[in-house]
Amino acid sequence: MFVTHLECSACGLQHQWSRPQNLCLSCGKPLFVIIDLAGAGRTLKRETLATRQKSLWRYREVLPLPADIEPVSLGEGGTPLLRAEKFGGEIDLWIKDESINPTQSFKARGMSVAVSMAKYLGASKLAVPSAGNAGGALAAYAARAGLEAHVFMPRDTPRANIIECRELGAHVTLIDGLITDCGAEIARRKTKEGWFDMSTLKEPYRVEGKKTLGYELAEQCGWRLPDVVLYPTGGGTGLIGMWKAFDEMEALAWIGSTRPRMIAVQAAGCAPIVRAFEAGEKSAAEFSNAQTIASGLRVPRAIADFLILKILRQSNGGAIAVDDQEMIRITREVGASEGLFVAPEAAACFAALRSLACARKIRSGERVVIFNTGSGIKYLDCYEEQ
């Protein structure tokens, strides 16, 4: 394994990877995994990747977990990048279809790596606040690992997510509130209950799993990153993970210094990042009365807000909000033209693409990638009455 240590993303303080860690012990911000890339690059080569297994564990040298430990895996990653010619029109549009992951969402990536590490480091009871998909993924990987999963979800989480967690053997608690209230409940009880907190970016390894989105994207684009990435942003783990992957790949001399314009897409009813981006803020204030059918975007306050905003600005990207009616309308348009029943979070990205193209912020011929982060099948309650 080539992990050297963990480093605080805000103050730089170093932490040991060899015991379970949550946030920075000095400033309370997220910790990042630091990898000896020179060492990793001795056996991990661009040219030989194609001969490896399709799962995200093909990038083993840049992932945590000692080499002789079997990962907790259900076949996550290795998802297709599909050309979306009809919807894209003049734009060179591609969809990274994450809905074919185990438990039908990209959350499988983060949980495969984080559960593998939690098990290796001796945790036995894992707790997570979830908008739905992360809970399902934790439940599945914890079951696979023989660990307990404790999932806290808002009561109005889509029914499919709640049932899925229960059928995967998790202990499910429904909370009258938002994901932030679920997180607060775990924080209150975790010491007494002996739970390890698996909240996104409050432990260092889910982002490592998510960063494989960036590795796969580069590989599938022939090592030339797209011009624009549209990413449905709640906690921002995928966006942050991809950005980390781009930096690592540059250090490995796999790609150059050009980066896509990273665009965070949020719901109009819960758009803390959009509001902060437009106001030129470095952090995002809590969004009150958060409401949207796109449960993964119902995140009124993100712990890594400052990292998301930094990436959007450094990449010359942006942030845009879409309302729920538009997400619902465009889901059918995407489905009927491209054959994918996308999650409403991803539908928001297709609607955002339309507005950005109209405003000439995305131009004909540019290569754009949208992440279909999950399957629409989990959200039947939102579509039933349409």
**Rule CB under 5 A: which residues touch Zn ion?**
8, 10-11, 13, 24, 26-27, 29
Using rule CB under 6 A, residue 209 touches ligand PLP? no
Using rule CB under 6 A, residue 105 touches ligand PLP? yes
Residue pair 59/43 in contact by the 8 Å Cβ criterion: no
235 binds, among ligand PLP, Zn ion, none (CB under 5 to 8 A by kind): ligand PLP
What are the C-alpha distances in Å from 291 to residues 156, 275, 324?
11, 15, 9
Q: At what angle do helices 237-251 and 206-220 cross, to 10 degrees?
A: 60
Q: Which residue, 90 or 381, is less far from ligand PLP as judged by CB?
A: 381
**Least distance between ligand PLP and beta carbon 235 (Å):** 3
Which amino acid is it at 258? T
Q: Which residue, 10 or 34, is less far from Zn ion as judged by CB?
A: 10
Binding characters for ligand PLP, 38-77, by CB under 6 A (x = yes): ----------------------------------------
Count of residues binding ligand PLP (CB under 6 A)? Answer: 18
For residues 149 and 118, what is the distance between their CA atoms, to the nearest angstrom? 12
Written in H, E and C, the secondary structure of 235-279 is CCHHHHHHHHHHHHHHHCCCCCCCCCEEEEEEECCECHHHHHHHC
11 binds, among ligand PLP, Zn ion, none (CB under 5 to 8 A by kind): Zn ion
345 binds, among Zn ion, ligand PLP, none (CB under 5 to 8 A by kind): ligand PLP
Q: Which residue, 24 or 249, is less far from Zn ion as judged by CB?
A: 24
With CB under 6 A as the contact rule, the residue among 199, 200, 315, 331 that binds ligand PLP is 200
Residue pair 172/128 in contact by the 8 Å Cβ criterion: no
**Least distance between Zn ion and beta carbon 140 (Å):** 32
- Report the candidate in 58, 385, 370, 384 with the shortest Cα–Cα distance to residue 228: 370
Residues contacting 291, CB < 8 A, separation 6+: 269, 270, 298
199 binds, among ligand PLP, Zn ion, none (CB under 5 to 8 A by kind): none
Coil vs helix vs strand at 12 = coil
Half-sphere exposure for 26 (CA within 13 Å, toward CB): 10
**Least distance between ligand PLP and beta carbon 9 (Å):** 15
- Report the candidate in 196, 238, 205 with the shortest Cα–Cα distance to residue 114: 205
**Least distance between ligand PLP and beta carbon 298 (Å):** 8
Scanning 16-24, 184-192, 236-244, 350-358 for contacts with ligand PLP by CB under 6 A, the matching segment is 236-244
Q: Which residue, 12 or 194, is less far from Zn ion as judged by CB?
A: 12
Coil vs helix vs strand at 14 = strand
Q: Which residue, 41 or 232, is less far from ligand PLP as judged by CB?
A: 232
Using rule CB under 6 A, residue 79 touches ligand PLP? no
26 binds, among Zn ion, ligand PLP, none (CB under 5 to 8 A by kind): Zn ion
331 binds, among ligand PLP, Zn ion, none (CB under 5 to 8 A by kind): none
Residue pair 308/272 in contact by the 8 Å Cβ criterion: no
CA–CA–CA angle 56, 61, 67 (5° rounding): 95
Q: Which residue, 41 or 161, is less far from ligand PLP as judged by CB?
A: 161
Give the footprint of ligand PLP on this chain (CB under 6 A).
Answer: 105, 131-134, 200, 232-238, 296, 343, 345, 373-374
